[in-house]
Amino acid sequence: MTSKERILAALKHTQPDRVPVDFGGTATSGIHVTCVAALREHFGLEKRPVKVHEPYQLLGWIDDDLADAMGIDVAGVPAAKTMFGFANENWKPWRTQDGLDVLVSEHFVTTTDANGDTLIYPEGDASAPPSGRMPKGGFYFDTIVRQEPIDEDKLDPRDNLEEFGPIRDEDLAYFKEAVDRAVASGRAVAATFGGTAFGDIALVPGPFLKHPKGIRDIAEWYMSTAIRQDYIHKVFDRQCEIALENLAKIHNVVGNAVDVVFICGTDFGTQSSTFCSVDTYRELYLPYYKRVNDWIHEHTTWKTFKHSCGAIESFVDGFIEAGFDILNPVQCSAAGMDPQHLKDAYGDRITFWGGGIDTQKVLPFGTPAEVREQVLQRCEIFAKGGGFVFNTIHNIQPKTPTENLVAMLEALREFNGK
């Protein structure tokens, strides 16, 4: 099978020739730039600085030579702009806090404050308030909340819609070029078009906006989903209308060359519980997810990708009802997320994209033997009958030992060689 055939077989819940693999296809299935650099060195690949294509989490771009060495079956098409509102272009050198030389966009503009923290600016404009902070000694950015005081009588849903609008011609051109390049790799294509992330808390504060308006404080937004549902519905309804109009334009440009489209990264789970009830999900989120997924399934061959961390077993039926084809990252360490139960209960109705190994404890802090054991166990459970794409549980974290990353890849090859 080709990589594309392998991914499509898994998505159809048929047994591929081996477990398909994704690293770097999305912003929730990637690898920190420090680990990309370490893997390039391990495999003896050409020495050159790695590109930071997702600056919020400092994810490293995986070039074809490393993708070949790792056995990756997916080529990613990132959004036209980063989480900080700028395009990746005209790469320049930058040094991480731990001394690694990397490449970043020319619009990646930072300063250092009195505490030694690194501040980053929306759209690369240092005259605007910074929207992200990397603490001294840190490895990625945290959002800086810049919400103005709320006047309950003057709340306007349009303020939470300022980032949504008709897709620009230059973004359509970008997607056409990026998709064509991904197709040429011979791998399955996973694209992030944007605009469909209803209430994604990473996006709500608007780190890409110079002066965000509306409800932008994280706690205030979560409270609004309980006490201002009419407001949230107005935001989501208009956002959905704009998204459908833009998806039609994008499909006219890229057609069915895309295999998987990242829809939403809204997290519904914590380590031990959920952010809202299933009833709230069904009332506030499901209708908009379903409108988007229904349009995609009616007009395209794309498969739709839903990311949600945490203890979300009680939401999986609702994700399936909303029309999602894929669930990521499958956080098996969270409450109620036993892998065998997930496979038995839902494995014929949704594809698990992730769950291959724990990135909180085992991969960063375990031994290579413990890594091997968990990878083999998870593949044994999830891979039967398709419906599984191997990935770690969310992005590979900085400072993960290279020997553990190698043990993970070797365990995958061992399983596939049975």
Q: What is the pLDDT of residues 166-189, one digit of tens each?
A: 999 999 999 999 999 999 999 999
* 385-405 pLDDT tens trace: 999 999 999 999 999 999 999
Residue range 308-336: average pLDDT? 98
Q: State the pLDDT confidence band at 418, using cuts at 50, 70 and 90.
A: low
Assign residue 130 a region: left if phi > 0, alpha if psi is -120 to 50, beta otherwise? beta
Q: State the pLDDT confidence band at 140, using cuts at 50, 70 and 90.
A: very high
Bridge partners of 101, per DSSP, are 95
- Per-residue buried b or exposed e for 341-370, using 16+ beta carbons within 10 Å of the residue's own CB: ebbeebbebbbbbbbbbbbeebbbebebeb
Bridge partners of 280, per DSSP, are none
User: Which residue, among 227, 182, 192, 212, has the nearest Cα to 305 in the 3D structure?
Assistant: 192
Query: Residue 417: is it exposed, middle or buried by C-beta count within 10 angstroms (0-12/13-18/19+)?
Result: exposed
Instruction: Transcribe 94-146 into DSSP letters.
Output: EE-TTS-EEEE-TT--EEE-TTS-EEE-GGG-TTSPP-EEE-TT-SS-EEPP-
The domain 3-32+147-416: what is its CATH number?
3.20.20.210
- The reported pLDDT for the residue numbered 148 is 86
The C-alpha atoms of residue 27 and residue 168 are separated, in whole angstroms, by 22
**For the chain, how many helices (H) and strands (E)?**
13, 15
Place of tokens 């404890």: 361
Residue range 350-367: average pLDDT? 98
* 31-60 pLDDT tens trace: 999 999 999 999 999 999 999 999 999 999
Within 13 Å of residue 388, how many CA atoms lie on the same side as its CB? 27
Residue range 311-339: average pLDDT? 98
Residue range 244-272: average pLDDT? 97
- Say whether pLDDT at 300 is over 80: yes
Is 191 in contact with 179 (CB distance < 8 Å)? yes
